[in-house]
Amino acid sequence: MRPFILRAIILSLAVFLLLSCASTSGEQVSLDIPKMEQSSRGHVAFFFTGGMQYKDNRKAYGEFVYGYESAKNGLLSEGYSYSYHSKLPLEIENGDLTLSLGAKNLSQAAGFVLIKNNGRFRVVYGIYTGHDIVKLAREYFMRRP
């Protein structure tokens, strides 16, 4: 079997297990987050605040987790740090900088925030594949301030 297909199957099973282990009371799965450190290249803060009470949210959350898990290694290899946030307001720390985004600042419940070291940021809404997340991060962080 090709390595890519095998990895996709293993990752799909991991997402399925994560969702199977989540309680039905609406709690989200705890995702593996590295210790927060200032990245010289930029920070990507993932957020999913949609809750788990409805069937559609569970499916969306599964797709979100798949994109998040797929993007982690690519982000790290590009030199970007990342974090995951599930409660509002989003309190995103990146070294000495702290960005706070509440319900009034966000128009959707899922996406990620690209944060440059100078404090500029861009909110990207929706659920993306890991490859697309890394590509969007690379394009944003490579642009001039």
Q: What stretches of 1-145 show up as alpha helix (H) in DSSP?
A: 3-21, 55-78, 130-142
- Contact 113/101 with Cβ under 8 angstroms? yes
The closest alpha carbon to 66, from 2, 14, 126, belongs to: 14
3-state secondary structure 36-52: CCCCCCCEEEEEECCCC
58-93 pLDDT, tens digit each = 888 899 999 999 999 999 999 999 999 999 999 998
Token pair, residue 40, equals 């010289």
Q: What percent of the chain has pLDDT over 90?
A: 52
Q: Computed from CA positions of residues 32, 34, 39, 41, in that sequence, does the dihedral angle turn out positive or negative?
A: negative
Say whether pLDDT at 11 is over 90: no
3-state secondary structure of 138: helix
Amino acid at 18: L
- Contact 125/25 with Cβ under 8 angstroms? no
In terms of phi and psi (left: phi > 0; alpha: psi -120 to 50; beta: otherwise), the region of 130 is alpha
* CATH 3.40.30.10 for domain 32-142: yes
The pLDDT score that the predictor gives to residue 98 is 84
The pLDDT score that the predictor gives to residue 41 is 86
Token pair, residue 52, equals 């788990």
The pTM of the whole model exceeds 0.75: no
Rounded to an integer, the average pLDDT of 84-108 is 88
